[in-house]
Structure 1
Amino acid sequence: MRICALIKYPPIQGGVSSRSFWLARGLAELGHEVTVVTHADLVEDQYRIELLDDDMSWLEYEAQSGGRVRLVQPQRDTRRYTHIPQGRMFTERLASLATQAVRQYDCELIYSYYFQPYGVAAHMASLWTGVPYTVQHAGSDLGRLMIQPDVHLAYRELITRADAVLTPSPRCFMAMGVKREAIYNPQKFTLPTERFCPETEPLDMRAHIAAVAERRRGEDIGPAAERFDPSLPTVGIYGKLGEAKGSFDLLHALAALREDGLKFNFIAMTRGRELPRYRALVRSLGLDECTWVLPFIPHHKVPAFIRACTAVTFLERDFPIVFHTPTIPTEILACGACLIVSREIANKQAYREDLRHGENVLIVEDPKDHAELAGALRSVLTEPGRAQAIAEAGRSIELGLEPLRPYAEGFVRVFEDVLKRRQGHPNAIPAAERNVPEDRAAMLKDFAHTLWVAYGDAVMDPARDAYLAAHPEELATPQRDALRFCEYLREHPVETAGSTPDSWADTLRATEGVAWMGVLEDDDLLVGPFGRRDCVTLQDKRWLDAAPLRTRWVRVERFTALPASLPWAQDGCSPEQPVTLAFHKQANMRGNVFAMNPQSRNLLELCDGARTTRAIIQQLAERTGQPPQAVLEVLARTLMWWYTRGLISFVDAPAG
């Protein structure tokens, strides 16, 4: 098969780049020809992998099977693309290069991974060449970029027009109108066990530090290479910098250990916007004599780096994208190193039930508790034998890893099915394997699931069958069908043992609220969630003088009789103890349901775009009798939490 792949690729750092890199290599080893079209070489330094001379042969690859990876990239000199307002034209250039590659190498299919710019460019190239295209998403493009007002329609168009959408989250794409037959569950990335294993030779850290120092003369990466002491324990970290990554928490914990006289090496393979602040903190905490802050390491060298460390940390906490599931903990365990991980990330792993603190992993409940984090580090730095024992026990965890071949074969199976569907054949991959409902009856149970949780199969299955008989025509999306099902049940109530009319009515309203989050009308898409442009003052940190405006796409409901089997009513739901729920729909169709107390509901009502944050603070201070500063501290946390999740925006306050 000849595939044009629009993907992140080295020297871009990150999980999507890693998955794409190994997939391209795996496809080549199966005998396929992969033409990678990417702008990876133009990536900013803060997200750039440092490629040394011995790394270059890994980017373009000819396999013994006859397959190959070919690399196509834009011109480096962007001055010739000058236009006003200035931009780098990545989407247009990638679309043009992909079109050229498809025609030059007779590619049969276009694969794209990440909406921006690869998915958009793939859609354009497919439109121009007639070659089918597939799109796969990550966490941040679906969870963050797609909810932005200026781009959500573009992403929706490329998604609904794709020949295949590769996603582990089919519900939101079905809500957008993607047909079941076009949805595929992507092969799970499991790390190639040929590289990620305890048998990998450890990286020669002195040699690596020296090579990077030679390449980056004049840059402060840490002490001279010979100052690295291989006889001391080494703490490692790799990946992007950030508060939510626990990067700064780790420095504070290490500084406390350094003050206690512990000696160690600290290697941070990291970059990010906050690198200057990070380096400054290293110096101010007195860690500069034992710390090397190096650029990102190539994907194929990550196992060797892990093997060179006594312990490797991954301390992500309070991450704004809840379905973000990084693979770094699995990489560390697979290579046989001692993993120190935050509770938040430990709980996101498929093998979380097998993680035992102090036995096969060290779990830090909250990395912001620097004393707790320092304690975990101390236990392995002062007892290297304990670190080794934890690492060896970690190897026994069933991580579900496989060699590279099955990972690539899973994608080949999807690509072949897409090509056959283009020729008019039905899906060869069963619905269950593609993680989509088998038929309309299964879809109703899935998208009106609240009713089944409340009343069970014995009650709801006959009611659903009666509805399907009364309404044999299928609506455009399962969510719309679920809403009509609720209307039908309101007219044809079901007898339920122990239930009251109020409980039945509340359950229907809750089910409708969940289904409503998956429905966007044409006016919603045209006007957007706020109907007004946000203000520039927020970028200048003057949010107190901006007016918070709640989204039009929120529905607040008060319940007094929800069944206790529903998650929102587990602590009770009655007229004396009502439950207020906010149903918040977003452009990515991944709605959020969250409980609100009376204070939060009142605050949300005040976010009408007619008054500034400062005016709201004053109004609440007068109403509650609290000092304005106390109100500000609580309000700031709440409003910024709502803002990052798209529940409110900040707009210019009306004049006067």
Structure 2
Amino acid sequence: MRVFYFTKFPPLQGGMSARGLFTALELGRRGHEVHIFSDPLAAASHERVNAAPLRELFDYVDHKVTIHFAETDEHIFYRRHPGGRPAVSQLASLALSVTDEHRPDVIFGSFMEPYGIAAYLVSKVTATPLVATHAGSDIGRLMRARDSQFLYRQVFLDSSAVLTTPRHSAYLALMGVPARKLHALPVPAPAWAPNAPAAPHDGPPTVLMYGKLPTDDSYIRHVIEDCAHIGVRTEVIGHIAWPASNSTDDATTLPTSPFVWPWKIPGLISESGLVAALRSSGNAEVQHHHGLTPVEAAAMGRAVALHPSDAANFHMTKLGLPTSHTEMMKLLGAQDARRELIGLGQACFDWLQEQLASGVIGLVPFETYADRVERVLSAPDEPADDRVVADRVTRLLKAHIPKGADTQEILRERRQAYRPSTASLHHIDSGADARIVRRVPMRYLELPEQQFHIIAQSAGSHPHEHIVAQSAMALLEAADGSPKRAELDPDDITLLHGLMSRGLIAVCDADLLPSKNEVPSLSRIEPSHG
């Protein structure tokens, strides 16, 4: 089959970029014609592999796939464009320009902005089946933005199939995406994962830190300084994920090396004795968003220093790995540190093999993942096994609905939330008018004593829950545009600000907002995860 694949792609750095590369190569190896549409050359220097020329990439790909890269924003035609680089238009136009000669059988859109949207546009123009997939930040961050929600949801609704995760499948189903379209895929192990751990590194242990560096680099500095004190070498590869500017000079003053090509990662890891996994502060608001650095280190048989939450997430707490700076330095400073690191590395490798065999945490060999992707791309209209989705939806509802409640009877979905409209409020005392809009999709449960249990979420794995009174519910109803105009009582002003501070609505008139000491508290339920 001929696949038009819109995706992040090297030299753009990151896990989704590497997955795009290795997925395309695997499909090409299996005899499919794959065309890549991407725009890594337009990325800022801190977002891409600092390697030139691109010959190394093309030599590695070796004609297994055809690469179509969009122009950079340095081109004279894009300079001073008030809306920034037209990424969607570039990618869609680039793909449409080759459809006469290379008519696609299926379009594969990965990472919604801009690739998934460009894929959706080309799918509509060419009447070609679309298979959409997403990253954690698509669902956890971008889809929380009010003005993107309707289009993103429409892409999922109109796709022939959606490749998602077991966790996200339930939220997409609650959005209205048919369960038969939702293919819940496991997470693939690295495509380059060897069958045996790499030989132990000769010489003193080296601590490797790589990937998107956190904006607060104090942890990395602490590691470098303490390792130098005990004679342990450190190597830091990457850049701060979201620096204040796009200048590499402004990104960090740490002694770092630039990103490397994805296929060189195993060589880097094998030269280390310990991999210190980093957590990007840019993803702090995306719950359950974990990088795969521990898995990559385990694949090479190297010990990992983990953040405590990552250790629990990957079921690695029983391996005896260091989960704090103090524990890591104690391990590195031990008299028999090399022997202990080799033992922990072997334990990590054995752990990964057990996970790949059991599938308990959703990790599978890359070939197994590619099998599933190939199957869906080859027959996008084949229904998925919706039992997985149905089970996830049931568990999700049980986690968020009061005990004993009939979920089928009292869960009410407000579809207007996906169509943000502006409503007008009239303040009775001052005579001022304000405009309000809903910020996020919302469902609610009616409770006794005119209270409402609100579940505000946008298909991500982080629903925000609140208990509000009838007066607050009336304002939320008004924010949906029903009714288009509502009278605002004097006491509702502070309540309005409370709803705004929770991110439930946006108010377009600052004059109606009270001072901070007048803002009431809304009852907030901490989310639980099913």
On the 8 A contact 1:201/1:304 being kept in 2, the answer is no
Q: Which amino acid aligns with 1:60?
A: V
Structure 1 CA distance, aligned partners of 2:303 and 2:42?
35
Residue 210 of structure 2 corresponds to which residue in structure 1? 238
Give yes or no for the alignment of 1:520 onto 2:476.
Answer: no
Residue range with higher mean Cα deviation, 111-120 or 605-614: 605-614
1:266 to partner: Cα distance: 1.7
For the residues of structure 2 that align with 1:241 and 1:531, how far apart are their CA atoms? 44
Cα gap change, 1:78/1:381 in structure 2, threshold over 3 Å: closer, same or farther? farther
> What residue identity is the alignment partner of 1:323?
H
Which of these residues, 127, 145, 148, is aligned with residue 148 of structure 1? 145
Structure 1 residue 329 displacement after superposition: 0.9
Match of 2:311 among 328, 346, 361: 346
Measured against aligned partners, the alpha-carbon deviations of 1:432-451 in whole angstroms (never above 9, x if no partner) come to 4xx333xxxx7985675369
For residues 455-470 of structure 1, the aligned pairs below 5 Å read none
Shift of residue 391 of structure 1? 1.3
TM-score (structure 1 length as normaliser)? 0.62
Q: 1:271 to 1:387 in 2, by over 3 A?
A: same
- Kindly provide the amino acid, as one letter, of the partner of residue 219 in structure 2: D
Offset from partner CA, 1:117-174 (integer Å, 9 cap, x none): 1111011111111111111001111111112122222212222111111112222222
Does the 8 Å CA contact 1:192/1:402 hold for their aligned counterparts? no
Work out the CA distance in 2 between the residues paired with 1:231 and 1:379.
16
Cα distance between partner residues in 2 of 1:613 and 1:314? 47
Query: CA 1:414–1:85 in 2, change beyond 3 Å: closer, same or farther?
Result: same
2:106 counterpart of 1:109: yes
- Confirm or deny: 8 A CA contact 2:174 2:459 kept in the other structure: no
* 8 Å Cα contact 1:60/1:71 also seen in 2: no
1:500 maps to: none
Q: Of the candidates 352, 355, 363, which is equivalent to residue 399 of structure 1?
A: 355
Change (3 A) 1:74 1:619: closer
Distance 1:124 1:309, change over 3 A: same
Q: Does 1:189 align with 2:188?
A: yes
Aligned partners of 2:119 and 2:130 also within 8 Å:
yes
Letter matched to residue 48 of structure 2? R
Q: d(CA) in 2 for partners of 1:399 and 1:104?
A: 44
- Does structure 2 retain, via aligned residues, the 8 Å contact 1:61–1:70? no
Alignment correspondent of 1:30: 30
Distance in structure 1 (CA, Å) of the matches to 2:4 and 2:441? 38
Amino acid of the structure 1 residue aligned with 2:231:
K
Deviations 1:171-213 (A, max 9, x none): 22223332222221235312225558523897xxxxxxxxxxx
Q: Pairwise mapping of residues 367-378 of structure 1 onto structure 2 (< 5 A)?
A: 373-378=325-330
Report what 1:416 is aligned to.
Answer: 378
The amino acid that maps onto 1:248 is S
Contact 1:48 1:296 in 2 (8 A): yes
Q: Which residue of 2 aligns with 1:298?
A: 261
Q: State the TM-score, normalized to the length of structure 2.
A: 0.75
Match of 1:155, SS?
A: helix
CA offsets 1:489-543 (integer angstroms, 9 cap, x no match)? xxxxxxxxxxxxxxxxxxxxxxx4xx44xx2323651327x999xxxxxxxxxxx
Determine the C-alpha separation between the residues in 1 that align with 2:200 and 2:10: 22
Asked whether the equivalents of residues 288 and 461 of structure 2 are also in contact (C-alpha less than 8 Å), the reply is no
State the 1:14 CA deviation: 0.8
Asked whether 1:616 is paired with 2:515, we answer yes
Q: Hey, what's the Cα distance between the residues in 2 that align with 1:444 and 1:148?
A: 23
Provide the C-alpha distance between the structure 2 equivalents of 1:268 and 1:612, rounded to a whole number of angstroms: 49
- Quote the Cα distance in structure 1 between the aligned partners of 2:212 and 2:512: 33
Give the aligned partner of residue 436 of structure 1: 389
Whole-Å separation in 1 of the counterparts to 2:261 and 2:30: 23
- Residue among 312, 326, 331 paired with 2:296: 331
**Equivalent position of 1:98 in the other structure:** 95
Secondary structure of 1:120's aligned partner: helix
- Number of equivalences: 464
SS in 2 for 1:363: coil
Q: What does residue 236 of structure 2 align with?
A: 268
- What residue number does 1:491 align with? none
Distance 1:323 1:279, change over 3 A: closer
The residue type paired with residue 436 of structure 1 is V
Structure 1 residue 343: Cα displacement: 0.8
SS, match of residue 103 in structure 1: coil
Change (3 A) 1:596 1:340: farther
Instruction: Name the SS for the 2:211 alignment partner.
Output: strand
User: Percent identity at matched positions?
Assistant: 19
The one-letter amino acid of 2:343's match is: A
Structure 1 counterpart of 2:197 = 198
Q: How does 1:312-323 map to 2 (within 5 A)?
A: 312-316=275-279, 319-323=284-288
Give the Cα separation in 2 of the matches to 1:105 and 1:550.
43
Query: Are the equivalent residues in 2 in contact too, given 1:248–1:278 (CA < 8 A)?
Result: no
- Give 1:251's aligned amino acid: R
Indicate whether 1:165 and 2:162 are aligned. Answer: yes
The structure-2 alpha-carbon separation of the partners of 1:338 and 1:42, relative to structure 1 and needing over 3 Å to count, comes to same
Instruction: Provide the C-alpha distance between the structure 1 equivalents of 2:199 and 2:123, rounded to a whole number of angstroms.
Output: 41
**Within 5 Å, which residues of 2 pair with 1:633-644?**
none
Deviation for aligned residue 1:399 = 3.3
Name whichever structure is richer in strand by fraction.
2
Mapping 1:42-61, distance limit 5 Å: 42-51=42-51, 55-57=56-58, 60-61=61-62
Residue 247 of structure 2 is aligned to residue 250 of structure 1:
no
Mapped partners of 1:10, 1:125: distance in 2: 22
User: How far apart are residue 44 of structure 1 and its match?
Assistant: 1.2
2:389 is paired with a residue whose SS is coil
Give the aligned residue type for 2:68. V
Q: Please provide the CA RMSD for this pair.
A: 4.1
CA contact (8 A) 2:301 2:349 kept: yes
SS in 1 for 2:108: strand
Please give the alpha-carbon distance, in whole angstroms, between the structure 2 residues aligned to 1:256 and 1:189.
Answer: 35
What is the rounded CA distance, in whole Å, between the counterparts of 1:524 and 1:188 in structure 2? Answer: 29
CA–CA separation in structure 2 for the residues paired with 1:83 and 1:310: 48
CA distance in structure 2 between the partners assigned to 1:157 and 1:111 by the alignment: 16
Structure 2 letter corresponding to 1:338: A
Distance 1:91 1:310 in 2: 43
The one-letter code matched in structure 2 to 1:331 is E
Code of the residue aligned with 1:136 in structure 2: it is: T
Measured in 2, the distance between the counterparts of 1:185 and 1:117 equals 23
Change (3 A) 1:158 1:279: closer
The one-letter code sitting in structure 2 at the alignment partner of 1:252 is: H
Q: For structure 2, which runs of at least 5 residues remain unmatched after alignment?
A: 357-362, 426-435, 473-491, 501-506
Q: Secondary structure at the match of 2:288?
A: coil
Return the offset for 1:78: 2.3
